[in-house]
Amino acid sequence: MVKLWDLRNTSQCVSSLKLANQIEDFCFRKEQLVVANGNSITLVDIQKQMEGVGEFSFEEQTSFYPFQKPCAKVRYDSHRDRIIAGGLDCQLKFFQATKDAPNDLQVAYKIKVPSEIFAFDFSADGNHFALGLNDGSLIIKSKSIEKEEEVRDEEQKLFDSFEPKLISTSKNYKYFFRGQYVVQADPDDIRATEMSKKRRL
Protein backbone atom coordinates (compact mmCIF):
# COMPACT_ATOMS: atom_id res chain seq x y z
CA MET A 1 0.00 0.00 0.00
CA VAL A 2 1.18 3.53 -0.86
CA LYS A 3 0.29 6.25 1.67
CA LEU A 4 0.47 10.02 1.38
CA TRP A 5 1.05 11.98 4.58
CA ASP A 6 0.76 15.63 5.52
CA LEU A 7 3.50 16.45 8.04
CA ARG A 8 1.17 18.88 9.79
CA ASN A 9 -1.16 15.99 10.64
CA THR A 10 0.56 12.74 11.57
CA SER A 11 -2.51 11.06 13.05
CA GLN A 12 -3.78 9.79 9.70
CA CYS A 13 -2.66 9.73 6.08
CA VAL A 14 -4.16 12.10 3.51
CA SER A 15 -4.60 9.41 0.87
CA SER A 16 -3.68 5.78 0.26
CA LEU A 17 -3.58 3.39 -2.68
CA LYS A 18 -3.53 -0.39 -2.44
CA LEU A 19 -1.63 -2.26 -5.14
CA ALA A 20 -1.80 -5.93 -6.02
CA ASN A 21 1.91 -6.67 -5.54
CA GLN A 22 4.55 -5.95 -2.94
CA ILE A 23 6.12 -2.50 -3.35
CA GLU A 24 9.87 -2.62 -3.97
CA ASP A 25 10.74 0.96 -4.95
CA PHE A 26 9.25 4.24 -6.22
CA CYS A 27 10.28 7.57 -7.70
CA PHE A 28 8.67 10.81 -8.87
CA ARG A 29 8.11 11.61 -12.53
CA LYS A 30 7.00 15.24 -12.77
CA GLU A 31 3.57 15.15 -11.04
CA GLN A 32 3.37 11.36 -11.06
CA LEU A 33 4.52 8.63 -8.76
CA VAL A 34 6.20 5.62 -10.42
CA VAL A 35 5.89 2.52 -8.26
CA ALA A 36 7.78 -0.74 -8.81
CA ASN A 37 5.59 -3.48 -7.36
CA GLY A 38 6.27 -7.11 -8.13
CA ASN A 39 7.06 -7.54 -11.81
CA SER A 40 4.96 -4.48 -12.75
CA ILE A 41 5.39 -0.72 -12.86
CA THR A 42 2.42 1.45 -11.87
CA LEU A 43 1.92 5.13 -12.71
CA VAL A 44 -0.01 7.07 -10.07
CA ASP A 45 -1.19 10.66 -10.37
CA ILE A 46 -1.11 12.94 -7.31
CA GLN A 47 -4.12 15.25 -7.64
CA LYS A 48 -5.55 18.06 -5.59
CA GLN A 49 -8.87 17.08 -4.06
CA MET A 50 -10.52 20.52 -4.13
CA GLU A 51 -9.63 24.00 -5.29
CA GLY A 52 -8.06 25.99 -2.49
CA VAL A 53 -7.59 22.94 -0.26
CA GLY A 54 -4.05 21.73 0.33
CA GLU A 55 -5.00 18.03 0.40
CA PHE A 56 -4.07 15.61 -2.33
CA SER A 57 -5.20 12.17 -3.42
CA PHE A 58 -3.79 9.24 -5.37
CA GLU A 59 -5.30 8.15 -8.67
CA GLU A 60 -3.91 5.06 -10.37
CA GLN A 61 -3.39 5.63 -14.10
CA THR A 62 -1.96 2.45 -15.56
CA SER A 63 0.04 -0.66 -14.72
CA PHE A 64 2.17 -2.66 -17.11
CA TYR A 65 4.30 -5.78 -16.72
CA PRO A 66 7.63 -5.44 -18.53
CA PHE A 67 9.54 -7.85 -16.27
CA GLN A 68 9.52 -11.61 -15.87
CA LYS A 69 10.59 -11.31 -12.21
CA PRO A 70 10.16 -8.60 -9.53
CA CYS A 71 11.51 -5.12 -10.31
CA ALA A 72 13.81 -4.00 -7.50
CA LYS A 73 14.73 -0.44 -8.52
CA VAL A 74 13.12 2.33 -10.56
CA ARG A 75 14.48 5.81 -11.34
CA TYR A 76 13.36 8.80 -13.41
CA ASP A 77 15.83 10.47 -15.78
CA SER A 78 14.59 14.06 -16.07
CA HIS A 79 17.32 14.92 -18.59
CA ARG A 80 15.75 12.65 -21.23
CA ASP A 81 12.27 12.24 -19.71
CA ARG A 82 12.49 8.47 -19.33
CA ILE A 83 12.09 5.83 -16.66
CA ILE A 84 14.87 3.34 -15.92
CA ALA A 85 14.12 0.15 -14.02
CA GLY A 86 15.89 -3.10 -13.21
CA GLY A 87 15.39 -6.14 -11.06
CA LEU A 88 15.70 -9.87 -10.62
CA ASP A 89 15.50 -10.78 -14.31
CA CYS A 90 19.04 -9.37 -14.82
CA GLN A 91 17.91 -6.61 -17.19
CA LEU A 92 18.08 -2.84 -16.99
CA LYS A 93 15.26 -1.42 -19.11
CA PHE A 94 14.70 2.11 -20.41
CA PHE A 95 11.10 3.27 -20.89
CA GLN A 96 9.84 6.29 -22.80
CA ALA A 97 6.38 7.71 -23.44
CA THR A 98 5.05 9.49 -26.50
CA LYS A 99 3.47 12.95 -26.39
CA ASP A 100 0.11 11.54 -27.48
CA ALA A 101 0.08 8.89 -24.72
CA PRO A 102 2.12 10.09 -21.71
CA ASN A 103 0.90 7.19 -19.57
CA ASP A 104 1.75 4.51 -22.14
CA LEU A 105 5.37 3.59 -21.53
CA GLN A 106 7.28 1.57 -24.12
CA VAL A 107 10.64 -0.19 -23.77
CA ALA A 108 13.17 1.88 -25.75
CA TYR A 109 16.09 -0.52 -25.17
CA LYS A 110 17.55 -2.77 -22.48
CA ILE A 111 20.89 -3.92 -21.08
CA LYS A 112 21.54 -7.51 -19.98
CA VAL A 113 23.79 -8.00 -16.93
CA PRO A 114 25.28 -11.20 -15.40
CA SER A 115 23.26 -11.16 -12.15
CA GLU A 116 20.18 -9.71 -10.46
CA ILE A 117 20.07 -5.92 -10.04
CA PHE A 118 19.61 -4.75 -6.46
CA ALA A 119 20.85 -1.15 -6.75
CA PHE A 120 21.65 1.34 -9.45
CA ASP A 121 22.01 5.05 -10.13
CA PHE A 122 23.10 7.28 -12.99
CA SER A 123 24.85 10.59 -13.62
CA ALA A 124 23.02 13.90 -14.01
CA ASP A 125 23.37 13.84 -17.82
CA GLY A 126 22.13 10.24 -18.01
CA ASN A 127 25.22 8.95 -19.83
CA HIS A 128 26.85 6.91 -17.05
CA PHE A 129 25.28 4.09 -15.01
CA ALA A 130 26.37 2.23 -11.89
CA LEU A 131 24.70 -1.09 -11.04
CA GLY A 132 25.06 -3.16 -7.88
CA LEU A 133 24.42 -6.85 -8.56
CA ASN A 134 23.43 -9.78 -6.39
CA ASP A 135 26.76 -11.55 -6.95
CA GLY A 136 28.60 -8.67 -5.22
CA SER A 137 29.90 -6.99 -8.37
CA LEU A 138 29.64 -3.33 -9.33
CA ILE A 139 29.15 -2.56 -13.02
CA ILE A 140 29.72 0.91 -14.44
CA LYS A 141 28.52 1.52 -17.98
CA SER A 142 28.94 4.63 -20.10
CA LYS A 143 27.07 5.58 -23.22
CA SER A 144 29.32 6.27 -26.21
CA ILE A 145 28.87 9.87 -27.29
CA GLU A 146 29.76 11.07 -30.77
CA LYS A 147 32.22 13.93 -30.80
CA GLU A 148 30.75 17.24 -31.85
CA GLU A 149 31.98 18.53 -35.17
CA GLU A 150 34.34 21.47 -34.79
CA VAL A 151 32.67 24.76 -35.69
CA ARG A 152 34.71 26.59 -38.33
CA ASP A 153 34.15 30.07 -39.67
CA GLU A 154 34.16 30.93 -43.39
CA GLU A 155 37.78 32.09 -43.33
CA GLN A 156 38.94 28.81 -41.81
CA LYS A 157 36.91 26.80 -44.34
CA LEU A 158 38.48 28.75 -47.21
CA PHE A 159 41.95 28.23 -45.77
CA ASP A 160 41.34 24.49 -45.38
CA SER A 161 40.14 24.22 -49.00
CA PHE A 162 43.57 25.35 -50.30
CA GLU A 163 45.52 23.06 -48.00
CA PRO A 164 46.89 20.09 -50.03
CA LYS A 165 45.64 16.71 -48.94
CA LEU A 166 48.29 13.99 -48.92
CA ILE A 167 47.41 10.34 -49.31
CA SER A 168 49.82 7.49 -48.71
CA THR A 169 49.45 4.62 -51.19
CA SER A 170 52.06 2.48 -49.49
CA LYS A 171 51.10 -0.34 -47.17
CA ASN A 172 54.45 -2.13 -47.05
CA TYR A 173 56.27 0.03 -44.50
CA LYS A 174 55.03 -0.62 -40.98
CA TYR A 175 56.60 -0.34 -37.60
CA PHE A 176 55.36 -1.29 -34.13
CA PHE A 177 54.88 1.69 -31.81
CA ARG A 178 53.38 1.35 -28.30
CA GLY A 179 51.18 -1.58 -29.17
CA GLN A 180 49.88 -0.24 -32.51
CA TYR A 181 50.91 -0.83 -36.08
CA VAL A 182 51.44 2.46 -37.87
CA VAL A 183 51.86 2.94 -41.61
CA GLN A 184 55.01 4.90 -42.37
CA ALA A 185 54.68 6.81 -45.63
CA ASP A 186 57.48 6.70 -48.20
CA PRO A 187 58.17 10.02 -50.04
CA ASP A 188 57.89 8.24 -53.41
CA ASP A 189 54.45 6.92 -52.50
CA ILE A 190 52.90 10.23 -51.47
CA ARG A 191 50.76 11.92 -54.08
CA ALA A 192 48.49 14.93 -53.93
CA THR A 193 44.79 14.48 -54.42
CA GLU A 194 43.21 15.40 -57.77
CA MET A 195 41.51 18.41 -56.21
CA SER A 196 44.82 19.76 -54.94
CA LYS A 197 46.45 19.34 -58.37
CA LYS A 198 43.70 21.34 -60.04
CA ARG A 199 44.02 24.14 -57.49
CA ARG A 200 47.77 24.36 -58.15
CA LEU A 201 47.13 24.77 -61.86
Q: What CATH number matches the domain at 2-142, 3.90.105.10, 3.20.10.10, 2.30.40.10, 2.130.10.10?
A: 2.130.10.10
Closest Cα partner for 44 from 84, 14, 12, 16?
16
pLDDT score recorded for residue 201: 54
Residue 170 has pLDDT above 50, yes or no: no
What tens digit of pLDDT does each residue of 29-41 get? 888 889 999 999 9
pTM for the full predicted model: 0.63
pLDDT score recorded for residue 199: 52
pLDDT: which is higher, 88 or 165: 88
Provide CATH 2.130.10.10 ranges for the chain.
2-142
